Amino acid sequence: MPLTLPFSLAAGLPDALSSLTLAAEPGAADRTLVVVFLRGGADGLSIAPPLGDPDYRRLRPLLGIEARECLALDGFFGLHPLLKPLEKCWKNGDLALVHAAGSDDDSRSHFVAQDLMEHGGNSVAGGWLGRWLGAMAARSDAAQGGLPALSLGTNLAESLRSAPSASVLQSLDDLGLGADAAAVRPALEDLYAGDEMLGPAAHQACTALDRLAQVRGAPYTPAAGAEYSADAFSQGLRLLARLIKAGVGVQAATVDLGNWDGHALQPTLIAPLLRALGGGLSAFAADLGPKLATTSVVVMTEFGRRVGENSALGCDHGRGGAMFVLGGGVAGGVHGRWPGLTDTALDGPGDLAVTSDYRDVLAPVLLRHGDAGALAAAFPGRTGAALAL
């Protein structure tokens, strides 16, 4: 059931919100939020098939997944067999599923839907994650460390636009001062030492550089026997786990897993992506060990696929999709409201209806990592019903 929670601060903190205890938990600055974006419109009905819905196999006679092949979740939903590595996370209560999730955009355009979702709404400047980090940086008890925000890959995620500081990297070699580091590093700290505004940030950055130099120089073996595959997604999570455990101040990170646009031969197209997603997240959770308690991973996509399969054994652009939240503090299990797949329940040309706005899934996660003020900065002017997860 959703917890009704207005989080608009457009005209000051509402009385209904100010009466709630929503202050950041102790150590909020030591927490890490990871956003995994499945670009291309991932098919939530394959990722987490609604096995208990009698219309599922009617609408997908060829692409529907058999219950006996799936990892059973709650007696109604299952997980795709290639996501079986997440079974331990599910049984431990560290994984939550929100089905029929999405945004209020009904364009069914990858570019429009991704843009609006990463910006956090219409007519807002920057990305929702960047605004949240800016609000967190303004808190005296949550000052950002030397490496507060990361995009793993080659491009800065739009959600991180307007962040006070963000880095794009593919390897530890991307972080450093190069061959002249020994001479440049003390010179940089001396340069800003007397600056009241920039001095503390420069000191934090130099401290992070020192720590990163130590990390680069030490061999890394994932903990708890975690095994990462060679794909870029899994290797990005491996690098992120290493940085989180190194304590370099990572508050937020984005990781993409793309090419989910399954208009034709969808099972063949998404199989390696599902394998990377399940294996990568499972290894990441195991590798973090105790750090998973202070790490939240949100898995999201711009929209789901059409419920009915097409003649090319694929599914066209749809509306509602599936979101996951993995990590410390989450109320594991299935959340949100399932709208059903009857013809009268479908949206538009035959899509799963959206019953949980993605911002209402993110809201409880952001509250665990910050406070109501930072949440309102992330999604200005919005009044939502945060899910209790």
Confirm whether 210 is domain-assigned.
no
Confirm whether 139 is domain-assigned.
yes
What is the per-residue pLDDT for 42?
98
| Tens-digit pLDDT profile for residues 25-53 | 445 668 999 999 999 999 999 999 999 99
d(CA 215, CA 13): 42
**Is the model's pLDDT at 77 over the cut of 50?**
yes
Confirm whether 200 is domain-assigned.
no
Q: Which is higher by pLDDT, 20 or 43? A: 43
What is the per-residue pLDDT for 140?
53
Confirm whether 39 is domain-assigned.
yes
φ/ψ of 295, rounded to 5, equals -125, 135
The burial of 219, by beta-carbon neighbours within 10 Å (0-12 exposed, 13-18 middle, 19 or more buried), is given as exposed
Banded pLDDT at 145 (limits 50, 70, 90): low
Task: State the DSSP string of 353-377.
Answer: PP-EEHHHHHHHHHHHHS-HHHHHH
Confirm whether 192 is domain-assigned.
no
**How crowded is the C-beta side of 101, counted as CA atoms within 13 Å?**
27
**Is the model's pLDDT at 374 over the cut of 70?**
yes
| Tens-digit pLDDT profile for residues 278-305 | 999 999 999 999 999 999 999 999 999 9
Q: Is the separation of the CB atoms in 307 and 346 below 8 Å?
A: yes
**Is the model's pLDDT at 17 over the cut of 70?**
no
Mean pLDDT of the residues in the chain: 89
99-103, 132-136, 161-165, 205-209: the lowest-pLDDT one: 205-209
Banded pLDDT at 13 (limits 50, 70, 90): very low
Confirm whether 9 is domain-assigned.
no
The residue whose two tokens read 């997980």 is 79
**What's the structural domain count of the chain?**
1
Q: Which is higher by pLDDT, 17 or 78? A: 78
> What's this model's pTM, rounded to 2 decimal places?
0.89
CATH number of the structural domain spanning residue 277: 3.40.720
**Containing structural domain, residue 266:** 15-175+226-378
